[in-house]
Structure 1
Amino acid sequence: MNILMISDVYFPRINGVSTSIETFRRALSERGVRSTLIAPAYPGAERDDMELLRIPSRYIPLDPEDRMMRSGAIRLRHADLQTRGFDAVHIHTPFVAHYAGLEIARKLNLPCLATYHTFFEEYLFHYIPILPKPWLRAFARRFSRSQCNAMDRVIVPSRAMADALTNYGVNRPLQVLPTGIPDEQFHGGDGCYFRNRYGIGKDRQLLLYVGRVAHEKNIGFLLEMVDHLRRSNPRVLLLVTGEGPALSGLQAETERRGLNTHVRFLGYLDRGSELHDCYRAADLFVFASRTETQGLVLLEAMALGTPVVALADMGARDILSGERGCRIAPPHAGRFAELINQLLADGPALQQLGEEARETALKWRAEEMAARLECIYADAVSDHFPARSLRPA
């Protein structure tokens, strides 16, 4: 099978969409499924190869981390794409990639699928706060409904997202398929080395947040939680890794609350050994986002035996269900802090929770998710070309 993917974001831009695409492409390749990705060119990014087509892109003033692909430059690739024998087109983002991917699928007479990675209904308000939230919500719903109904199939990372799209009026087949965890995520990491490197004493009890430092991630709630927690547990330290548009505001809030000895911002960590070391060093992973379509970082932490405490909103709900290796926190900073304190005070129970976390994460392995995606592709091809069957044996 041969799939053309297209996305408005990819590495070196670090976010959940980039990680999901890379994880699925690698796991599909191991199953013999070929894929070619169309993605923006970024300054300093790797050049084209046969399986990664970098498209000239524009700087976006309101969102300097991202780039906008030039539609005309994508069209210049059409003749080449026609010779590659693709079986389906898979769109990962709703901007230039959506319209370009749909155009390619129609031109090549191929089935077109999309993964709905981002919960725009809640996301937009943080970036266009001058408009009333009800207006933005209504726009996001109409926009998403229109785009999804143009697809042959829509993939969503969680049941909560499938329910949301159904409520929007999406009438195309919805397939729930989360991003899996690669096998290497379950190994490695040296927590002692990490603590020594960053001058963190063995007596400090570490809470960890990993992800984009953005308004929709609700990191301010975690700062409020730490403000409560430090009164009863002065040893607590929250590590915030990643960068993003909310960083300066959160640093200012940390200063205002007098949390400089209880919160540290580490910036981006290398996704290989350095991030693994960080996960291993943490006593608990904490998460308060209400807009996640999946919450992949929760599984990354659990794969390395770090228990999770999080709000059970949207996609995170599927991971937290059953509370094995994790705990669902109340949506109140003070009560969230109380739960953290209880867990940190019971070493044996915390260790048991870490063992459960790893066992839970094993159920979300990338290999299994890729096998399911291959079947979704095959069904889309069979529906589009009834005489063809590409389903794996």
Structure 2
Amino acid sequence: MNILMLSDVYFPRVNGVSTSMRTFRSELQTLGHEVTIIAPHYPQPTVDEPGIERIASRRVLFDPEDRMMRPRVLARRLALIQPGQFDLIHVQTPFVAHYAGLRLAQRLGVPCLETYHTFFEEYLFHYLPVLPKGVWRAITRRFARHQCNQLDGLVVPSQAMREILLRYGVDTRMRVIPTGMPTGSFQEGDGAAFRARHGIHPDQPVLVFVGRVAFEKNIGFLLRVADELRRTTHPDIVLIIAGEGPAKNRLQRLGDALGLAANLRFVGYLARGFELGSCYQAGDA
């Protein structure tokens, strides 16, 4: 089967959507399928593997990490695709890629699937706080219902997400397919050395968060948990935050306000492999 993935985001932008796409593409290729990805071009230098095409893009207002594909440039590229070239269109994001994917699938006479990655009801308010949270929730529910019911099928990463979309009134067929983690990505690391590099004593209790440092991840809750432990049962607790994202500065200020500066380690983005494995091994939970 020849599959075209369309997305408004992909590496070098590091997030769950990019990771899921890479994982599924690799597994589908292992099964003998051909998978092409069309995604935005990013300003930073990127070396892509074969089968990944980039579309000229521009900045996204209120979200400097992301890029928006230029619709006309994307439309010209998709117009070159001939009937029979792809058997399935798999959209990954509900923005420019969604509408372009629907139009292309209709023209080619092939199914259009979409993976619903993000719980936008708890997402948009953090980046566009121009409306009350309740208003954003109502808008995103209606928007999601309309978009999802345009599709031939939906992939959702969890049963919880499936139940949310059902409550929204989505009646498109859904399949729960969690994004697996390739076991080869987690090499043996050296937790003791990682602790030493970041000034953590071998006997100190350590909590680890690995992921995008974004507002919707509610990492502030972890800082407050660490603060409670520090003030009660574990005065030498350390919280490692591995990742990058727009919430980092605010979390650092929260840590300072809580008096947690000595108990926090912001170690940045760690590529999968020895260093990330070492970070996991350095933690107790």
User: What's 1:230 paired with?
Assistant: 230
Contact 1:47–1:54 under 8 Å retained in 2: no
Paired amino acid for 1:247: K
Identity of aligned residues (%): 55
Paired amino acid for 1:282: G
Q: Following TM superposition, by how much is the alpha carbon of 1:141 offset from its aligned partner in structure 2, in angstroms? A: 0.7
Q: Residues of 1 paired with 2:120 and 2:203: CA distance?
A: 41
Q: Residues of 2 paired with 1:280 and 1:81: CA distance?
A: 47
1:10-159 aligned within 5 A = 10-46=10-46, 50-82=50-82, 85-159=85-159
User: What's 1:208 paired with?
Assistant: 208
Structure 1 counterpart SS, 2:238? strand
Q: Residues of 2 paired with 1:175 and 1:137: CA distance?
A: 24
Q: Residues of 1 paired with 2:97 and 2:91: CA distance?
A: 7
Paired amino acid for 1:133: K
- Provide structure 2 residue ranges, at least 5 long, that are not aligned to the other structure: none
What RMSD in Å do the two structures reach over aligned CA positions? 1.5
User: What's 1:245 paired with?
Assistant: 246
Q: Following TM superposition, by how much is the alpha carbon of 1:247 offset from its aligned partner in structure 2, in angstroms? A: 1.1
Q: Following TM superposition, by how much is the alpha carbon of 1:186 offset from its aligned partner in structure 2, in angstroms? A: 4.7
User: What's 1:7 paired with?
Assistant: 7
Contact 1:220–1:250 under 8 Å retained in 2: yes
- Provide structure 1 residue ranges, at least 5 long, that are not aligned to the other structure: 285-393
1:355-366 aligned within 5 A = none
User: What's 2:278 paired with?
Assistant: 277
Q: 1:45 to 1:114 in 2, by over 3 A?
A: farther
User: What's 1:333 paired with?
Assistant: none
Q: Residues of 1 paired with 2:40 and 2:276: CA distance?
A: 26
Q: Residues of 2 paired with 1:63 and 1:116: CA distance?
A: 20
User: What's 1:360 paired with?
Assistant: none
Question: What is the TM-score with the length of structure 2 in the denominator?
Answer: 0.95
Instruction: For residues 271-298 of structure 1, give each alpha carbon's deviation from its aligned partner in whole angstroms, at most 9, with x where no partner exists.
Output: 23211110111111xxxxxxxxxxxxxx
> Which sits farther off after the overlay, 32-41 or 229-238?
229-238
Structure 1 counterpart SS, 2:123? helix
Instruction: For residues 203-235 of structure 1, give each alpha carbon's deviation from its aligned partner in whole angstroms, at most 9, with x where no partner exists.
Output: 221100111111111111111111110122122
Q: Following TM superposition, by how much is the alpha carbon of 1:196 offset from its aligned partner in structure 2, in angstroms? A: 2.5
User: What's 1:368 paired with?
Assistant: none
Q: Residues of 1 paired with 2:151 and 2:105: CA distance?
A: 10
Contact 1:17–1:117 under 8 Å retained in 2: yes
Paired amino acid for 2:51: E
User: What's 2:258 paired with?
Assistant: 257
Paired amino acid for 2:267: L
Aligned length: 284
Paired amino acid for 1:146: H
Instruction: For residues 152-174 of structure 1, give each alpha carbon's deviation from its aligned partner in whole angstroms, at most 9, with x where no partner exists.
Output: 00111111111111111111101
Paired amino acid for 2:209: Y
Contact 1:48–1:54 under 8 Å retained in 2: no
Q: 1:225 to 1:49 in 2, by over 3 A?
A: closer
Paired amino acid for 2:156: V
Instruction: For residues 167-186 of structure 1, give each alpha carbon's deviation from its aligned partner in whole angstroms, at most 9, with x where no partner exists.
Output: 11111101111101113035
- Structure with bigger helix share is 1
User: What's 1:192 paired with?
Assistant: 192
Paired amino acid for 1:212: R
Q: 1:79 to 1:131 in 2, by over 3 A?
A: closer
1:220-369 aligned within 5 A = 220-231=220-231, 232-284=233-285
